[in-house]
């Protein structure tokens, strides 16, 4: 017979087989109950989680666009009111064209990277980006004439410890930066994590992403950059975080280039110069 032995005061007592079975059954029952509770909570809270994820995304778009100030506390209703001035547009990164037939609801650009039909590999690059989605969701705000006056682009790339996710905002000329906001990263607190500090974010508005030949040249330098008038393509580096600073440079130059939003930005620039926007 199966038995379980335990010692009391130097003596050895043998527990009956029924006790062992009771312990096993009780443990199994607790595991089942806990699993059911966790699963039920996940299902019941899923809708609220999705709402919070969407609200956080909108808040970060507004931060990159300068529509929410540093340290400003904004209610959910106010976020939704300010975000209403933007439209969500699907861009086919293979062609640089907007795709009005694409369903933007619930689209997850991270998940599609594992789908060969919805993403594609890109040549080796300094940003260490291996695949990009076929479609990207961008955020546009138009002026009264219908031209794009503000464009917010998702950017992603490898940092020192983990992937960094952010938004880059451009003005109507599609080269002047309005803002940069990172909302998810694993950089070192006090060093690379300064990418989401108000002080460093304040250095970006007014810098220019492209040179006169249309090449993406925006760069985070080691040390201090000059003023916007003298040194428009460079931004102060983060002290003690050279790898993170370089990662930001490589990431932005990649997404503003030919394998990212480059063709789309050329199209929007031409449309704005013509006085119209598709």
Write down the pLDDT at residue 61: 93
Write down the pLDDT at residue 48: 63
Write down the pLDDT at residue 186: 87
Write down the pLDDT at residue 43: 61
Cα separation, 23 vs 91, in Å, equals: 59
Could you tell me the pLDDT band of residue 17, with boundaries at 50, 70 and 90?
Answer: low
Which residues is 148 bridged to in the sheet?
142
Q: Which one has a higher pLDDT value, 127 or 43?
A: 127
Could you tell me the pLDDT band of residue 224, with boundaries at 50, 70 and 90?
Answer: very high
* Whether residue 2 has pLDDT greater than 50: no
Three-state DSSP string of 129-177: CCEEECEEEEEEEECCCCCEEEEEEEEEEECCCCEEEEEEEECCCCCEE
Of the listed ranges 24-28, 47-51, 68-72, 225-229, the least confidently predicted one is 47-51
Q: Which one has a higher pLDDT value, 255 or 191?
A: 255
Asked whether 86 and 141 are in contact (CB, 8 A), the reply is yes
Structural domain boundaries in the chain: 4-50, 87-274
Asked whether 2 and 20 are in contact (CB, 8 A), the reply is yes
Please compute the mean of the pLDDT values over residues 80-107 and round it to a whole number.
94
* Whether residue 277 has pLDDT greater than 90: no
* Whether residue 7 has pLDDT greater than 90: no
Q: Please indicate, yes or no, whether the overall pTM of this predicted structure exceeds 0.85.
A: no
Starting from the edge strand earliest in sequence, which strands make up the sheet with 163-170, in order? Answer: 97-98, 87-92, 135-142, 148-158, 163-170, 177-184
* Whether residue 187 has pLDDT greater than 60: yes
């Amino acid at each position: 017979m199966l038995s379980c032995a335990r010692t009391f005061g130097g003596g050895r007592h043998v527990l009956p087989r029924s006790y062992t079975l009771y312990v096993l059954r009780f443990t199994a029952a607790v595991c089942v109950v806990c699993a059911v509770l966790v699963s039920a909570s996940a299902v019941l809270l899923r809708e609220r989680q999705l709402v919070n994820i969407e609200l956080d995304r909108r808040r970060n778009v507004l931060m990159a666009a300068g529509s929410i100030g540093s340290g400003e506390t904004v209610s959910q209703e106010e976020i939704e009111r300010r975000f209403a001035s933007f439209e969500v547009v699907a861009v086919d990164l293979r062609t640089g064209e907007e795709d009005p037939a694409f369903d933007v609801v619930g689209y997850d650009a991270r998940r599609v990277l594992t789908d060969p039909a919805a993403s594609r590999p890109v040549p080796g690059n300094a940003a260490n980006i291996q695949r990009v989605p076929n479609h990207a969701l961008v955020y546009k705000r138009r002026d009264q004439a219908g031209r794009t006056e503000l464009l917010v682009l998702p950017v992603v790339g490898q940092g020192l410890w983990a992937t960094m996710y952010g938004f880059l905002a451009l003005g109507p000329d599609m080269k002047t930066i309005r803002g940069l906001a990172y909302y998810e990263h694993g950089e070192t607190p006090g060093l690379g994590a300064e990418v989401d500090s108000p002080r460093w974010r304040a250095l970006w508005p007014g810098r220019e992403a492209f040179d006169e030949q249309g090449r993406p040249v925006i760069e985070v330098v080691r040390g201090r950059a000059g003023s916007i008038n003298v040194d428009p393509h460079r931004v102060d580096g983060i002290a003690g975080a050279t790898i993170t600073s370089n990662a930001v440079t490589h990431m932005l130059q990649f997404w503003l280039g030919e394998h990212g939003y480059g063709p789309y930005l050329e199209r929007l620039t031409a449309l704005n110069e013509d006085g119209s926007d598709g």
